[in-house]
Amino acid sequence: MEDDETIRRGGHIPQEIVEEILVKLPVRSLVRFKAVLREWRRTIESKCFQERHIGFQKSHGGRQARILALSIETRYNRLIFDILLISTNNIARKSSPYRPMTPFHWFQDSKICQPCDGLLGLYSDTHMSIFNPATTCCRSLPYPTASIPYDQRRHHTLLGIGRENCERGRYKVMCYFECDNKKVCESTKCIVFALDTNTWKDVDPPHCRLHYDHSIVHLDGVLYCFSHGHTESENAKVLAFDLHTYKFQSLSITSCIGFRYSRYSGMHNLNHRLCIFNSDTLFRIWGLDINSRSWEMMQSIDCSRLQLKNWIFLFPIARINDYFVIITDCYRHYWGLYDSKNHILYRTSFIGQAPPFGMPYFETLVSAYQ
């Protein structure tokens, strides 16, 4: 009887084996298992285990793309989540393991920033919150421009979430905003929020203007976005901000590569590489060589041969095994395109009143209060 009780409590299972099993489980199961044993709870809540769990989730990104589709249920002011698992063989839409979430503020005029280790941000010109769909943890942030008179604020805000590329690896939220359209060099403001200290810190702003139409992209402790000079007609550049050193760098985009910034341009992290793209009849993607600070052509697709009707905006979401690119147009269809043959393998669309917003996503235990 005692042996049965010991086995039930996991007494004969070495701790290393327990951790090897737990680290491969989805977040939903881990949350439940925290209530089974105190030892398991301590293990699951430890930073070391969470790091291992993140590493395991990331290691599966090359074989398939896990797409999180978010849509708004306006009646109840809730976010609804769907999951698409996309491989080189098919697209599988699975029932969402995540419960609908009601953040702290309304969705009107709100934007959603790109995820970092499972954390997403929902923000507008007046409210900000971050959340983890897998754990349903949601946190409202103190608004950084509360001290600025309302009549001096401009409706330009850009939010990004990232993590320092150092030993501590703290999660931070970066916010760009403008409060004076007349002062060209001083109009862009930058402020950073540290999740662990619950404080905003002013940062010396970059001497440039930003393009606020595109999301901030996080890669290896650096947040990237498009910038331009005194006028928007000047050539676009990529502005890089290091979350640890709080230093800016500007990466030029030479005209010789053929990139022309427009509202249909974009930036994304594809297979751990910063990429920019032009959404035009000739859809092209360039990847950054961080060592030489130059751009290399990764893909070129003649969209005129694809016979897409009423498409406006193509956006690369993920790359699988270096052969396939998953992209979406403004009508929220998901397409799988072969890397060089311009051949559509499959497509799917969502049915419903509110079209979803899709992004690559892997679930983690990271808390919004990390």
Is the predicted pLDDT of residue 230 greater than 80, yes or no?
no
Identify the pLDDT of residue 133.
93
Q: Which residue has the higher pLDDT, 234 or 134?
A: 134
Closest CA relative to residue 174, chosen from 153, 188, 193, 195: 193
Which of 108-112, 203-207, 328-332, 347-351 has the highest mean predicted lDDT (pLDDT)? 203-207
Is the predicted pLDDT of residue 3 greater than 50, yes or no?
no
Cα(279)–Cα(284) distance, integer angstroms: 7
Cα(120)–Cα(361) distance, integer angstroms: 10
Cα(367)–Cα(239) distance, integer angstroms: 28
Identify the pLDDT of residue 329.
60
Q: What is the rounded (10 degree) CA torsion for 272, 57, 70, 173?
A: -60
Residue 7: φ, ψ to 5°: -65, -40
Q: Which residue has the higher pLDDT, 144 or 271?
A: 271
Region 293-303 average pLDDT: 84
Identify the pLDDT of residue 331.
52
Closest CA relative to residue 112, chosen from 97, 96, 130, 125: 130
Please report, rounded to a whole number, the percentage of residues in the chain having pLDDT higher than 70.
75
Q: Which residue has the higher pLDDT, 308 or 254?
A: 254
Is the predicted pLDDT of residue 126 greater than 70, yes or no?
yes
Is the predicted pLDDT of residue 177 greater than 50, yes or no?
yes
Is the predicted pLDDT of residue 47 greater than 70, yes or no?
yes
Region 207-231 average pLDDT: 87
Region 171-193 average pLDDT: 79
Its pTM stands at: 0.88
Query: How would residue 4 be classed by pLDDT, with cut points 50, 70 and 90?
Result: very low
Query: How would residue 2 be classed by pLDDT, with cut points 50, 70 and 90?
Result: very low
The two tokens of residue 130 are: 């971050």
Identify the pLDDT of residue 354.
46
For residues 266 and 277, is the Cβ–Cβ distance under 8 A? Answer: yes
The two tokens of residue 153 are: 């604020």
Which of 82-91, 179-188, 238-247, 286-295 has the highest mean predicted lDDT (pLDDT)? 238-247
3-state SS of the chain is: CHHHHHHHCCCCCCHHHHHHHHCCCCHHHHHHHCCCCHHHHHHHHCHHHHHHHHHHHHHCCCCCEEEEEEEEECCCCEEEEEEEEECCCCEEEECCCCCCECCCCCCCCCEECCCECCEEEEECCCCEEEEECCCCEEEECCCCCCCCCHHHCCCCEEEEEEECCCCCCCEEEEEEEECCCCCCCCCEEEEEEECCCCEEEEECCCCCEECCCCCCEEECCEEEEEEECCCCCCCCEEEEEECCCCCEEEEECCHHHCCCCCCCEEEEECCCCEEEEECCCEEEEEEEECCCCEEEEEEEEEHHHCCCCCCCCCEEEEEECCCEEEEECCCCEEEEEECCCCCEEEEEECCCCCCCEEEECCCCCCCCCC
* Summary mean pLDDT of the chain: 80
**Domains plus CATH for the chain?**
2-45 (no CATH), 53-360 (2.120.10.30)
